[in-house]
């Protein structure tokens, strides 16, 4: 009797500063097209590519992410990245997820801009050995030369899936800039995220007006199989 293939688990990492409908649409489309039973949202603890940039405290970003994904049973939060010290490297995060979930096929969801710099990632060959890459295409960003990537990393092309996602072409940077000057975030991110941003004065002034880390809240029970 043929052995059943391992379950497929989607992984969407990011600073989520703040999360928005673009993140949610990408995760849902990946789940639909690739048959992912679950998509984990992983807020990053110390993203190495953001060093020197203002970043909202991780406790707020976790709460924002929880609110953004709360109404979708396919989505779950993972704290695997924020609960460990040091810089957040994808290769280490994938290893932790694989250890936590056992025989699982990981599908790491990222943007075309991240694929463009993939050879500069920490140990890119090991990343590809641990997961399939699901790359979200955007109308405003050119598609990376996959042949060139294949020459640099033989076997890479077979582990990369291009994903066209209908929906909002928006970035977290744009949202934080809009929030900083009091512009509307409506229809760009879920209402629960907007309410939290306003309640804690996030982005208005990262250094003076933003509230401290949020008080501990009763977390909703993690869905089966989450990290």
Compute the distance between CA of residue 116 and CA of residue 1 in angstroms, rounded to an integer.
42
Specify if 175 maps to a domain: no
Q: Is residue 193 part of a domain?
A: no
Cβ atoms within 10 A of the Cβ of 95, count? 13
Residue 110 lies inside a defined structural domain of this protein: yes
pLDDT in tens, 1-22: 667 788 999 999 999 999 999 9
Q: Angle of helix 191-199 relative to helix 58-69, nearest 10 degrees? A: 150
Q: Which domain holds residue 39?
A: 8-169
How far apart (Å, rounded) are the C-alpha atoms in residues 47 and 53? Answer: 10
| Domain-embedded: residue 148 | yes
Q: What is the pTM of this model?
A: 0.86
Domains identified in the chain, total number: 1
Q: Is residue 121 part of a domain?
A: yes
Q: What is the CATH number of the domain that holds 118?
A: 3.40.50.620
Mean pLDDT of the chain: 87
57 assigned to some structural domain: yes
Output DSSP code: residue 210: S
**pLDDT, tens digit (0-9, with 9 covering 90-100), for 167-207:** 768 899 999 999 999 999 999 999 999 999 999 999 987 54
pLDDT in tens, 119-164: 999 999 999 999 999 999 887 788 899 999 999 999 999 999 999 9
In a domain, 25, yes or no: yes
Q: Are 41 and 11 in contact (CB under 8 A)?
A: no
């Amino acid at each position: 009797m043929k052995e059943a293939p391992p379950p497929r688990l989607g992984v969407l990492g990011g600073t989520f500063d703040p999360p928005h409908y673009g993140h949610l649409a990408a995760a849902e489309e990946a789940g639909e097209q690739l048959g992912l039973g679950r998509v984990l949202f992983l807020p990053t603890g110390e993203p190495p590519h953001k060093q020197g940039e203002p970043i909202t405290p991780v406790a707020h970003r976790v709460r924002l992410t929880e609110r953004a994904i709360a109404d979708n049973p396919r989505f779950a939060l993972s704290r695997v990245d924020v609960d460990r010290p040091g810089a957040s490297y994808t290769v280490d995060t994938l290893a932790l997820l694989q250890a936590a979930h056992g025989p699982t096929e990981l599908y790491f969801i990222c943007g075309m801009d991240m694929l463009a710099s993939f050879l500069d990632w920490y140990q890119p060959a090991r990343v590809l050995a641990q997961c399939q890459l699901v790359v979200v295409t955007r109308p405003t960003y050119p598609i990376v030369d996959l042949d060139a990537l294949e020459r640099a990393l033989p076997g890479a092309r077979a582990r990369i899936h291009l994903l066209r996602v209908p929906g909002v072409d928006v970035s977290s940077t744009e949202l934080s800039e809009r929030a900083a000057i009091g512009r509307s975030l409506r229809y760009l991110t879920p209402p629960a995220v907007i309410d939290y941003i306003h309640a804690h004065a996030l982005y208005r002034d990262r250094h003076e007006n933003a509230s401290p880390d949020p008080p501990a809240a009763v977390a909703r029970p993690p869905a089966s199989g989450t990290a």
